[in-house]
Amino acid sequence: MIEARRLHILRAVADHRTVTAAAAALYLTPSAVSQQLTALEQETGHRLVERGARGVRLTPAGEILLGHTNAVLAQLERAEAELAAYSSGSAGTVTVASFATGIGLVVAPALARLARTAPGIRLRVQDAEGDASLPMVLDRQIDVAVAVEYRGAPDADDPRLAHVPLYAEPFDAVVPRDHRLADRTQVPLAELAKDPWIGPYPGNPCHDVVVMACEHAGFQPSLEHSSDDFRAVVALAAADAGVALVPRSALHGMDLAGVVVRPVDGVAPTRRVFAAVRRGAEAHPLIRPVLDALSESSTSA
């Protein structure tokens, strides 16, 4: 008989690609993870993982079992959801991780909605970028991630996650007030090819949006200054340190006295925001109202 907790360990190893990283995500020791993998191999009668200089990879048998693992763990999430519904599940804590702008735009309004419509549900909010929050959902460190689509992110049909689209917003060009393009009504990205750029660090989903937009315009941006805080990005642009692309909602309430903000000429780079939970958990009586509140907040964002 295969133990479900060992399947969870197998998926963590597949996701993180090293025993050490999987152990850290699961709050276990590497030796405990290795022991559970060995036990799982004994249960199945197959070698499931291969260790190498670059980490751990699944064998063909491991890949077969991983496909079933995703289905089994999703079904267990559904079972928990139905049992919670049976016992009413009207009160409890749901942990939500979101990037900072998403907290202000949809998470905080959702928290206020839930206080009125489902007062028994308490939200615990964490600030985390999408590339960090999605693994946190899979590792059961949080219940809901509000994340941005990015290169390498799990697809909407990923068997491990259920996606709920929330909103999409364009990036606007931010240039110093005396910039040569400051009097344009729209800014062509190609004309910023030789400018110094200010933007998020690699790994931040918005970094991918900026780089891909510039690549589509025919150039690689020269990112001379980096910050994941868009207030810092705008402040640097105001100091004539370079140009930037910033999500429109992130500009709300900022001091824009030293910069000019203009729409991008043509197809604007866009970030698409969604909520994600472990597949099967979307019907949980504590999580479903949170997803509904996030969706309702996004329509008025």
Q: Which of 45-54, 61-70, 182-191, 194-203 has the lowest mean pLDDT?
A: 45-54
How far is Cα 224 from Cα 244, in angstroms, rounded to an integer?
11
How far is Cα 163 from Cα 156, in angstroms, rounded to an integer?
6
- What local confidence, expressed as pLDDT, does residue 40 receive? 92
Query: Helices 30-44 and 19-26, interaxial angle, to 10°?
Result: 100
The yes-or-no verdict on residue 221 having pLDDT over 90 is: yes
Q: List domains and CATH numbers for the chain.
A: 4-83 (1.10.10.10), 90-166+272-300 (3.40.190.10), 168-271 (3.40.190.10)
* Residue 21 tokens, joined: 């990283």
The yes-or-no verdict on residue 82 having pLDDT over 80 is: no
The yes-or-no verdict on residue 258 having pLDDT over 80 is: yes
The yes-or-no verdict on residue 90 having pLDDT over 90 is: no
How far is Cα 258 from Cα 235, in angstroms, rounded to an integer?
8
Tell me the CA end-to-end span of the chain in Å, nearest whole number.
49
Q: 2 or 189: whose pLDDT is higher?
A: 189
Residue 61 pLDDT level (bands cut at 50, 70, 90): very high
| φ/ψ (deg, to 5) at 5 | -65, -30
* Residue 257 tokens, joined: 């006295």
By the 10 Å C-beta count (0-12 exposed, 13-18 middle, 19+ buried), 270 is classed as middle
- What local confidence, expressed as pLDDT, does residue 154 receive? 82
How far is Cα 256 from Cα 237, in angstroms, rounded to an integer?
10
